[in-house]
Structure 1
């Protein structure tokens, strides 16, 4: 049996093939050319137990291409792989061999390879978040300009309703007006693109039964439901509700020895988009759900605002897991018991 590990970079990769004794059978640095990589691995395809590709920012093309060529591909969870710190020398070749070694031992931490169509739609939701953040930066820029020029604050909703004529009527210097008008022009463009992406997301997943179930949760509307559904993927990939809550970064990271906390682990391990979505849902639930408000107040009395909000987000994450797993609508009594 043979094992392959690939250390992937932006413009090249190191491909390694090893045997049952971790002896290197073949190894070469190749450009990021799918045909050349497949051609290099082809002689051992029938013997390969799998090809390990690290989960970098640019893995889509390589994993999809290898799978289409008939290879059994494993996506390595790089955040969970830690090499011995005492090694005197490491490099790309050593990294590729180490991944093949973990595959041979059967202890390779892997991530889920979602279908290309699902990833494309999920990335569209992430693109919407990027555009919304950019729009917020331009709104804040206008707030700052007006605070400097007029010594007064204006709400974001008022800024969204501003027209070019409104800016001209403020009696500000010509260059200041031009700066504000530039921000408004970008905001209008971003508004149009955000609306376009939202329509596409709604058309793609609005009819799914899981989508309707998620919108039954307090604080979760159509946008957050879309993000949670797409970022979660198949719910069966999470063995227990705790695994899902951890993936959503809703649980603490601790290192305990003899009953004492000795530090923290990788606090960023998990999905940052799910973490954001559940905190947003918690903040909305505080406004519109009395049970969520009471739960939050009980937690805040013992801790502080941030911890209480995170605890509520944890509750909502667990509720969403059960909803997606059991295909049942939200149960307030079960969530906030």
Structure 2
């Protein structure tokens, strides 16, 4: 370990139980490489040797919240590396934790680091609530699919569109009650229905918590003025997008959400393919969900139908979702969307 009083750059390769830190000079010389257990005290002991105002970088990987908070509390300038931007590490002939940490520090030192946004604690807390509700909904959908699978195994047709509506529940009650389902299958259906009931309680509980936290948020209120977006989808946009001013414009938000096509260009050859599907999967789902059943007389619904008539339903929905994201951008940025006002027509090149 060398004595050094200049600017230090620290690369952090974070894992579930242990972390590797590499301290370097502003010329890239390694001062220290150390592996520590994942606790704040161990991290602080290493950072105490990093001098004043060190530049620290770690990848946006599993469980990064505590490390970023601890590093910022220790006075470091923290940078979060985007996982897709450092994916080239995977193709090195020699790959280990020390090399990963050193390469992160080098990218930061040379100004070539692909950075991700560090969401403040309040946004992270809101995301926990929104994402947990989304997970609960996915679990409920899985349980419902399991009930359908049990009935299919027993050769019982389902004539109603919603097996878990009033008529569907009556059918399930009769099947379980009159013995038409053999014992193990009936027991499984009863278990799944209890789980669905419990999940619905938790889903409603977390939806209420989210609405309470966002009740006075102007962006949350504004985004719900967009046709197709209600309290649930509005909360997804507010939580996942966070500070919308970090995007230069609506096109950048659509790109971040993975709703723009891939672009491959070499010499005179240009190829634009399917959408990238990179970025927030939840935002992309919310945008697509919000335009699925919009009436044709609405601005976005009419666009969806026109594109679908030429190129197919799926492409029409994706195009409409991309336009919907643009409206979301202006709602979150300005807390209103002029394009939604009656009789307003957006001139080419002007913000909505």
Query: What are the residue-to-residue correspondences of 1:164-313 with 2, within 5 Å?
Result: 165-166=173-174, 167-169=176-178, 171-261=180-270, 267-285=276-294, 287=295, 290-313=298-321
Rounded Cα–Cα distance in structure 1 between residues aligned with 2:221 and 2:108: 40
Rounded Cα–Cα distance in structure 2 between residues aligned with 1:136 and 1:192: 14
> CA-atom RMSD, angstroms?
2.5
**DSSP-derived class of the 2:31 partner:** strand
Over 6 Å off, 4+ runs: 263-266
The residue aligned with 1:314 is 322
The residue aligned with 1:2 is 8
In the TM superposition, what is the alpha-carbon distance from 1:259 to its structure 2 partner? 3.8
In the TM superposition, what is the alpha-carbon distance from 1:278 to its structure 2 partner? 0.3
Report how many aligned residue pairs link the two structures. Answer: 335
Query: Residues 5 and 268 (structure 1 numbering): CA distance in 2 closer, same or farther, change over 3 Å?
Result: farther
Rounded Cα–Cα distance in structure 2 between residues aligned with 1:283 and 1:259: 37
The residue aligned with 1:58 is 63
In the TM superposition, what is the alpha-carbon distance from 1:148 to its structure 2 partner? 3.5
In the TM superposition, what is the alpha-carbon distance from 1:87 to its structure 2 partner? 4.5
Rounded Cα–Cα distance in structure 2 between residues aligned with 1:216 and 1:199: 20
Any conservation in 1 of the 2:133–2:207 contact (CA below 8 Å)? Answer: yes
Query: What are the residue-to-residue correspondences of 1:145-164 with 2, within 5 Å?
Result: 145-155=150-160, 157-161=162-166, 162=169
TM-score for the superposition, normalised by structure 2:
0.87
Any conservation in 2 of the 1:256–1:262 contact (CA below 8 Å)? Answer: yes
In the TM superposition, what is the alpha-carbon distance from 1:257 to its structure 2 partner? 1.5
Any conservation in 1 of the 2:260–2:276 contact (CA below 8 Å)? Answer: no
Any conservation in 2 of the 1:292–1:336 contact (CA below 8 Å)? Answer: no
**DSSP-derived class of the 2:293 partner:** helix
Query: What runs of 5+ residues in structure 1 fail to find an aligned partner?
Result: none
Rounded Cα–Cα distance in structure 2 between residues aligned with 1:336 and 1:58: 45
The residue aligned with 1:136 is 141
**DSSP-derived class of the 1:14 partner:** strand
Any conservation in 2 of the 1:19–1:25 contact (CA below 8 Å)? Answer: yes
The question of 1:72 aligning with 2:77 is answered yes
The residue aligned with 2:3 is none
Query: Residues 334 and 29 (structure 1 numbering): CA distance in 2 closer, same or farther, change over 3 Å?
Result: farther
Rounded Cα–Cα distance in structure 1 between residues aligned with 2:139 and 2:338: 33
Q: Output one character per residue of 1:26-69: Cα deviation in whole Å (capped at 9) or x when no partner.
A: 11111112211110121223152x11011002101111111122
**DSSP-derived class of the 1:13 partner:** strand
**DSSP-derived class of the 1:297 partner:** helix
The question of 1:105 aligning with 2:110 is answered yes
Once the two structures are overlaid, the 10-residue window that deviates more, 297-306 or 244-253, is 297-306
Rounded Cα–Cα distance in structure 2 between residues aligned with 1:279 and 1:220: 11
The counterpart of 1:42, out of the listed 23, 31, 48, is: 48
In the TM superposition, what is the alpha-carbon distance from 1:251 to its structure 2 partner? 0.5
Query: Residues 331 and 101 (structure 1 numbering): CA distance in 2 closer, same or farther, change over 3 Å?
Result: same
